Amino acid sequence: MATAHDRAVLQAIFNPTSPYGDIPGLNQEEELIDDDSGFDTELLKQVKELEMRGVSAAEAGDLQAALQLFSQAVRVLPQRASAYNNRAQALRLQGDTAGALQDLDQAITLSGGTGRTACQALVQRGLLHRLERQDDEARADFEKAAALGSEFARQQAVALNPYAALCNKMLSEVINKLRNPDVSQMQ
């Protein structure tokens, strides 16, 4: 019976553009959560309600209301990362990339680089860096988010790493030649 590592190697060989170890059903992501235990429960409840209303407003296309709600959540609990991450998305949708990046930086800092909000913020910041053609910064963010369990980030990190794709492709060609040797070249 093949081990998980064996299956990951075979996946890399036969699907050279997929990230190493990215096997459907093999990587059962652990549900990331944010540690909100240090916040006052009443304030936390208030902030979560503001964020839910902000998300609803953004989904309805009312970005101004969403920004106001997310900003209010930031004022109530300025040390909680989630509202910064949500406000960054609304800012991005308004075309304010600089403001979005500033809020994403704050979300990552406040989260300590761990948990669901950090993972989401790293992916979003990576995408913004990629849009700005800052591939090194994008790759770094995607690699950090991938380490937190984001399969999307793992795929993006590989896509930004031409050497990994090239090595996987070359290995696949070698395996294919070993499986199907060209008899005419063996003489």
Q: Per residue in 26-59, pLDDT tens?
A: 443 457 788 888 899 999 999 999 999 999 999 9
Interhelix angle 115-131/151-159, rounded to 10 degrees, is 30
Q: Which residues of the chain have pLDDT under 70?
A: 1-30, 162-169, 182-187
pTM beyond 0.75: no
**134-159 residues labelled b (16+ CB within 10 A) or e (exposed):** eeeebbbbbbbbbebbbeebbbbbbb
User: Which residues, at least 6 apart from 125, have a Cβ–Cβ distance to it below 8 Å?
Assistant: 101, 104, 105, 108, 141
The domain 35-100 is classified under which CATH number: 3.40.190.290, 3.40.50.2300, 2.20.25.10, 1.25.40.10?
1.25.40.10
Instruction: Read off the pLDDT of residues 157-177 as tens digits, 9 standing for 90 and up.
Output: 888 876 665 666 677 777 777
Q: Whole-angstrom Cα distance, residue 138 to residue 144? A: 10
